Amino acid sequence: MGEEFNPSKPIYLQLVDRISWEIIKGERSTGEKLPSVRDMAIHSGVNPNTVSRTYNELERMGIVETKRGQGTFVTEHKDRLIELREQLKVTHIRNFIEEMKQMGFSSEDMVKGIRTYVNNEGENGK
């Protein structure tokens, strides 16, 4: 089992990202119980302390809630999940723009490229 992790970023943050994406994409629904720390550690191929740190970070972010003796659950506060989705969108847009600027593209080039890409996506049925 186990997953491949990027050595340049802490594993617990990579797990935070992965679980956040699963929630945003609807693969995990509000109120859904996450696997136990032990089960998640086995599935991910990491130390249980890493998963515990991941769950603590997700809880600090307001994405999950821990119920003593019951486990960790995706928050039922839909407003928080909408906010998380917006934060992820802004982060990806910012990263995209920074990379494009480093390659020498202007704002106009980026907008034109995005429009062309989106229009072609529709034509290709993707």
Buried b (16+ CB within 10 A) or exposed e, 94-113: eeeeeebeeeeeeeeeeeee
- Return the minimum-mean-pLDDT range out of 53-57, 95-99, 117-121: 117-121
Is 52 a domain residue? yes
pLDDT, residue 86, reads 94
- Give the pair of three-digit tokens for residue 54: 């991941």
Domain count, the chain: 2
Q: What are the distances in angstroms from CA 65 to CA 15, 32, 58, 119?
A: 16, 10, 8, 41
Is 118 a domain residue? yes
- Cα dihedral angle (123, 27, 84, 13), rounded to 10 degrees? -110
Determine the structural domain holding residue 95 and report its residue range: 79-124
Is 114 a domain residue? yes
**% of the chain residues with pLDDT over 70:** 94
**pLDDT (tens digit per residue) in 8-46:** 999 999 999 999 999 999 999 999 999 999 999 999 999
Is 6 a domain residue? no
Q: Clarify whether residues 19 and 53 are in a common domain.
A: yes
Is the model's pLDDT at 99 over the cut of 60? yes
Is 5 a domain residue? no
Is 4 a domain residue? no
Is 64 a domain residue? yes
pLDDT, residue 125, reads 58
Q: Clarify whether residues 16 and 72 are in a common domain.
A: yes
| pTM of structure | 0.78
Is the model's pLDDT at 67 over the cut of 90? yes
The answer to whether the beta carbons of residues 21 and 44 sit under 8 Å apart is no
Q: Clarify whether residues 64 and 83 are in a common domain.
A: no
